[in-house]
Amino acid sequence: MSSILTNTSAMVALQTLKNINTSLTKTQDEIATGKSVASSKDNAAVWAISKVMEADVAGFKGISDSLSLGESSVAVARQASETVTDLLTQMKSKIVAAQEDNVDRGKLNDDVLALKAQIESVVGAAQFNGLNLVNGSAGSADILASLDRDSTGGVTASSITVNAQNLSTGDYTAKAVFTGSDGAAADDGDTFGFSLDGNGGTDDAGLIVITNPTYAEGDKISLRVGDYDVSYTVTAEDVAATTPEDIIAVKLKSAIEGTGANVSVDYDSGSPGQLSITNEGTSAISISGTFANANSGGLGALATIDVTSDSGAQAALGTIETLINTAVDASAAFGSAQSRIEIQSNFIGALTDSLKAGIGTLVDADMEAASARLQALQVQQQLGTQALSIANQAPQNVLSLFR
């Protein structure tokens, strides 16, 4: 049946052409934007996932900047601690030279003082963006390292904590702690040094007397017995004790005996704070000690080094070993922290690239497929237009029935 009121063929052709034009518009948008999912109306679920991932990428970019800043700060501190280690090693060579009797100890002491000043300069200048991890002004630094998203969508930040290493020489309060003797010499003050001959004579034994009524928690007593180092840090319980020097002496006795040094150590409870050390070998052993109060920097004992006398030179030898160990430990700690930050930084970079690739997989258009689809749709559009034109001519055919 032919009708001039309802052109079914034209309606079908028109609807087909509309669908072709819609697909053509979508394909042109994909080519123009490069995305198959450019807005939430294209695919709400995929769009939402991609936006969350894009937010994470932006966050990781900030984390990358934080890690770069933190790595630079730690690198400065590591370089400073390594430089201090080198300077202390140079100082040790001066102190070793001062052990001889036929040297100018005054000039050697001047060199030691110059090295002290250089160490203070290095420690003071070792800051990055105002943060100094070696001068005692900072306890630690938290470096933002990651954003962790759980299965519920909750996000928490995690950090890498870098502990500061106090290599300052300030805040040193002198306290008379030791009296060390080998029968011929005795030194009073924060350091002492003497030798035990080990030849079976009267100088095989020596006394260390530890006395101080003003101990504070954190005070540290260090001894060097031959090639062995021992130390003890005063606790709050020690401070509260009636005779803290007894506790300290017993702890140091145990520590010395645990080193393997060829000496015997005796402690008499009737003589508070007194240790008697005897050289059991045939070679001379140097005994030295130093004290650092709780408020002093890690290199506070530098203030006690003085090689102008024989006893001072001997005491300085034990002190410098302790200080070198402190600087080495600080360098190792900073090196480990810097390595960890570098690893995390590389991981964040790789993770960011993976997230970007994942977002691209979700929303980016396949340009090859879009190009082929565009050409096909353009042909379909032309055919649809022709089909609609033919369908619109159908009512004209009705006129031939009335001729």
Q: Are 142 and 231 in a shared domain?
A: no
Per-residue confidence (pLDDT) for residue 294, from 0 to 100: 72
b/e burial code for range 129-157 (CB count within 10 A of at least 16 → b): eebbbbbbebeebebbbbbeeeeeeeeee
Token pair in block for residue 50 = 């991609």
Q: Are 209 and 118 in a shared domain?
A: no
Task: Give which of 180, 203, 178, 204 is closest to 193, Cα–Cα.
Answer: 180
Give a yes or no: residue 380 inside a domain: no
Give a yes or no: residue 347 inside a domain: yes
Could you tell me the CATH number of the domain that includes residue 269?
Answer: 2.60.40
Q: What's the structural domain count of the chain?
A: 2
Give a yes or no: residue 213 inside a domain: yes
Per-residue confidence (pLDDT) for residue 184, from 0 to 100: 44
Calculate the average pLDDT of the chain.
82
Question: pLDDT for 98-135, tens place per residue?
Answer: 888 888 889 999 999 999 999 999 998 999 988 899 98
Average the pLDDT over 240-265 and give the result.
87
Could you tell me the CATH number of the domain that includes residue 85?
Answer: 1.20.1330.10
Per-residue confidence (pLDDT) for residue 244, from 0 to 100: 83
pLDDT grade, residue 186 (50/70/90)?
very low
Question: pLDDT for 345-377, tens place per residue?
Answer: 999 899 888 888 888 888 877 788 878 887 887
- Domain containing 130 equals 47-168+331-355
Question: pLDDT for 140-152, tens place per residue?
Answer: 888 888 888 777 7
Q: Are 160 and 186 in a shared domain?
A: no
Question: pLDDT for 50-94, tens place per residue?
Answer: 888 888 888 888 888 889 999 999 999 999 999 999 999 999 999
Concatenate the DSSP letters of all residues of 296-326 into one string. S-TTGGGGG---SSHHHHHHHHHHHHHHHHH
Q: Are 104 and 197 in a shared domain?
A: no
